[in-house]
């Protein structure tokens, strides 16, 4: 199966010149979804992983499935103001402005081994913020798993430069 065939590309979204890689078509294809989850799990099968952290929002879908396959807990990494209990957060820069992600203060125990999951790695800003946030909470990030890498934007290389293993199922050239 070619993942590129299972992922829809929407030109000029959210702005002109961007090729949006939409995994909802992959998620709607039972064989592609199952294979993607299995392949995201495979590099980490047999390693000690305590929890999977999924970045909002598509990282929840994938991360929950990966956590299930690994028989571990799941940590939702949410946008600001979405969690009902006491949180810790991390601010990060966007192309135009700033954003914040948060986790509950009791989402993990110090020293737990965490796998970070999202649908796509582009510039790495959100993933980098997620790593900083989880590490501040006491996590040991053992890997970062994505369906899509946009290598020209350099996010995966930034994560590798700080010593984080990165896996992706497919790479798309361009933005």
Per-residue pLDDT tens over the stretch 6-35: 999 999 998 898 899 999 999 999 999 999
Q: What pLDDT, on the 0 to 100 scale, is given for residue 150?
A: 96
Distance CA 124, CA 159 (A): 7
**β-strands 51-55, 73-79: how paired?**
parallel
Residue 110 resides in a domain: yes
What's the domain range around 105?
Answer: 48-171
Is residue 65 classed as helix, strand or coil in its secondary structure? helix
The reply to whether 126 falls in a domain is yes
**Total count of domains within the chain:** 1
In a domain, 21, yes or no: no
SS in 3 state form for 72-107? CEEEEEEECCCCCCCEEEEEEEECCEEEEEEEECCC
Mean pLDDT over 44-71 rounds to 97
Q: List residues with catalytic annotation.
A: 58, 95
Residue 115 lies in a domain: yes
Q: Give the CATH number for residue 101.
A: 3.40.50.2020
Instruction: Give the predicted TM-score (pTM) of the model.
Output: 0.96
Q: How do residues 63-101 score in pLDDT, each as one tens digit?
A: 999 999 999 999 999 999 999 999 999 999 987 789 999
Does 95 map to a domain? yes
């Amino acid at each position: 199966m070619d993942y590129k065939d299972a992922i829809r590309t929407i030109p000029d979204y959210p702005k002109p010149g961007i090729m949006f890689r939409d995994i909802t078509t992959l998620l709607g294809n039972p064989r592609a979804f199952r294979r993607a989850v299995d392949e995201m799990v495979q590099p980490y099968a047999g390693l000690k992983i305590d929890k999977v952290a999924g970045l909002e929002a598509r990282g929840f879908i994938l991360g929950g499935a990966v956590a299930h396959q690994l028989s571990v807990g799941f940590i939702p990494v949410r946008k600001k103001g979405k969690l009902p209990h006491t949180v810790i957060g991390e601010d990060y820069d966007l192309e135009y402005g700033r954003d914040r992600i948060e986790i509950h203060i009791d989402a993990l125990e110090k020293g737990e081994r965490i796998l970070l999951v999202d649908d796509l790695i582009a510039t790495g800003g959100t993933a980098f913020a997620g790593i900083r946030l989880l590490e501040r909470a006491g996590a040991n990030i053992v890997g970062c798993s994505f369906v899509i890498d946009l290598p020209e934007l350099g996010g995966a290389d930034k994560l590798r430069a700080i010593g984080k293993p990165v896996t992706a199922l497919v790479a798309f050239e361009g933005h």
